Structure 1
Amino acid sequence: MMSMDLKMDAIPRPEMFDFHGVSMINMFTENWENIQNFQARPDDILIATYPKAGTTWVSNTLDLLHFGQREKPIPLHKRVAFMEVFIPDFHSGVDLADKLPTSPRLIKTHLPVQFVPKSFWEQKSRIVYIARNAKDNVVSYFHFDRMNKAHPEPGDWSSYLQRFKQGKMVFGSWYDHVSNWWKKKQTYSNLHYMFFEDMVEDTGREIDKLCSFLGLTPSVEEKTRIVGEVHFDKMKNDEMANYSTISDFDFKVSPFMRKGKVGDWKNHFTVAQNEEFDEDYKTKMKDPTLQFRTEI
């Protein structure tokens, strides 16, 4: 076991590069042809997010809504296939998605909307998108990149914040990501667009909306149990949901599930950084119908 850990430490962090106008790393582009040719099914559910916007939260919620408590615990990353991830000779998200024994299959992606395999649209698969306000999202992504050895070195907070504004992040610009998925919602009716802040404010209400979108009718007891199961602190301590079994993640640096709060950005942004960020935000976010809350 020790040699495996040493080997992981010896592997340098990857470099980002421009991939069809979006910053990416090899791990998410090397299997591109197979990703693009992925055959979606009409009952598939695609969970789409910008990284660190509540992917795990919604994945676990959907898994519990559809499949309840499993007799034998299986880690979430094996129940919900991460479509674009590819580690040669070890793991392919596309293969995992193909082999999922469940119906519906739960598949997650961080891809910008223009990169989603076209079979999802053709099959009219249901898509759940969750978005998180930019300030909390960048803070969460910063801590994630610090602990995730499979991502590029984040550098210090202030340079990281600049990169975020420029869209030089793995999976590209937050601004483009949330805006383009929002635009897609106007033309694709099988897309449910959620906000992280709404989930924090009233998880039960948001689960009701999800159920209505998915045509599910859990009993009051079942719903209450799920709300309890997906509480942040419960998931943070659940080895089947908190990604503590992934060798690339250094929990000594930061846990995968850190705080799950709205407004933690206030502990990171200086007054000047916040003012600059707000000015820059106004230039990039032009659609008045897409509104985020940075506190609740």
Structure 2
Amino acid sequence: MLAAPRQKPVRIILDTDIAPDFDDAGAMAVLHALADKGEAKILATVSCNRYPGCAPLLEVINNYYKKPAIPIGAVKNEGANFGDKNKWNEVVVANFPHKLQTTDEAPDAIGVYRSVLAKQPNNSAVIVTIGFLTNLKNLLQSGPDKYSKLDGAALVAKKVKRLVVMGGAFPQGKEFNIHIDASSSKYTFAHWPTPVLFSGVEIGNKILTGNRLIQQASAHNPIRQSYEYCLKTYQGKTHPTGRMSWDQTAVLAAVRGPEPYWKAITGQIKINEDGTNEWIAGGSKQHSYLVEKMPPEEVAVIIEDLMLHEPR
């Protein structure tokens, strides 16, 4: 059974690299489903990836779920520019009306972050990042502006309740989101002033989704189209058993918390210069990472049920 809605929706900003892999699209489906169920309020969706198809796809997905007013932002002038050679973003976006033609046309993510956070009640916003840490490093280093007299670190400390990260390998290892912009990862986790929860690569590895989605969802659903195309073509391979659900786990944990799906181990992450990570038991930071509790097959059913949600 699905968890009962919380009394107040969790206020979420989603930061995504939606292009190198398609589980980001699945994560957006989960977030929109939780919003429609009254469990979340989506404050903004921003891209940490300069790839041209990212922001248009964010717009398409937000529009599909009947939330066209959600602010969209994108990283500017630095950071990664990654897509897949199958160009799944462009394939899906071409099937839907949209105003943004390229990620460059989206507003600066830092302006979006600062304007949105400044309006939130204190200690209320949850940021969930399922991509690179470039935007969050820039947010921490941002100065006062028309939205707030606070610098970025102070604004985060005042307005953000927690950060949830799909990234890292625990207790140690190397993971894509962290090592692609290792310097931003290192800076962000060393300076982030609120609790940080990590969903490591090992959590999503065993949670396979997508097959029920492509069989049961509307053919006009951009999430179904993403999975239907990519399960056949992603990285030059077919994926008949479904795709790993890394990003969906972070969104689920951000909204509902770790329990009953996972347990959380507390300590502190350490990011090395090469982008590998280690775990320091009992470290001084407010860090924790997920460990398996509910069987992954059961979590997969819950996640894919949410992915199958259609807009009202």
Question: What TM-score range do you get, normalising by the shorter chain?
Answer: 0.3 to 0.5
What is the TM-score with the length of structure 1 in the denominator?
Answer: 0.34
Larger Rg: 1
- The higher-RCO structure (CA 8 Å, 6+ apart) is 1
Structure 1 or 2: larger helix share? 1
Structure 1 or 2: larger strand share? 2
